Structure 1
C-alpha cells in the first residue's frame, strides 16, 4: 500500500487517484473539503487528515483543518466502503465514477450501482 500524504490540500481528482493507488485510506483518517461538504467535484480542494475527536461533547479538529477552513466530507471507513463498492462494479473504475458514488452516498446513505 502506497502512503498518502496527510495535511496537503489538493484537488479531489489528485486525492482520489492517490487513494485508489493505495487501495483505500487508513480508518483513522477523514477526507476534508474546502467549501460545501455536501458534494464534491473534480476540482474541489480536499485534504486527508486525522478524524475529529469529541471532547466534552464538542468536535475537535486539527489545527491544519481549522487554518485551511476545511469541512469534514467523509470518515475513512465509509469512504473505504464506497471505494470497494465502486471497484467491485463491472468495468473499470474512474475517478469520476468514484466522485459520483461518493456524492450519491452522501445524499442517500446507500451505494450507487453502475
Structure 2
C-alpha cells in the first residue's frame, strides 16, 4: 500500500486485495471517526510511534489534524477473514465487516 495519499475506502480495499492482503505497514486516518463509508476519503500513512506510553502521530497526519481510523494490520485481518468466509463479498460487505469489527471487536459472521 502506498502511503502519504488520500484514497476512498473503496480504492484502499481494492489496493489491499490487489496486494494479496500482504502489506499491513500502514494506518488509515480521517477527519472524523465513526462508521467507515465506501466513498469517504481516508489518508494512508505510517503507524503512530509510541513515546512514553502515548501515540505520536506522523507529521503529515498531525498537520492535517486527522484521527486514527484503522490500523493496517487489523484492516488486513478483517478483510482476510471476510473474504475467506464469503469469497464473493462485495466492497459494501467488506465495509460492513470492518465496521462490525470496530463495534464488536470480533469478526462479522456471514450467513450464506
Shift of 1:64: 1.0
Match of 1:84 in 2: 80
Aligned residues: CA RMSD: 1.6
CA contact (8 A) 2:36 2:95 kept: yes
SS in structure 1 opposite 2:101?
helix
Confirm or deny that 1:19 pairs with 2:16: yes
Q: Distance in 1 between matches of 2:22 and 2:42?
A: 14
Q: For structure 2, which runs of at least 5 residues remain unmatched after alignment?
A: none
TM-score by length of 1: 0.85
Q: For structure 1, which runs of at least 5 residues remain unmatched after alignment?
A: none
Q: Distance in 1 between matches of 2:44 and 2:24?
A: 11
- Per-residue deviation, residues 4-31 of structure 1 (Å, max 9, x unmatched): 2211012111111111111225333212
1:1-114 map, 5 Å: 4-24=1-21, 26-36=23-33, 38-114=34-110
Aligned length: 110
SS in structure 2 opposite 1:93?
coil
Distance verdict in 2 for CA 1:56–1:73, change over 3 Å: same
Q: Distance in 2 between matches of 1:71 and 1:56?
A: 19
TM-score by length of 2: 0.86
Q: Distance in 1 between matches of 2:29 and 2:21?
A: 15
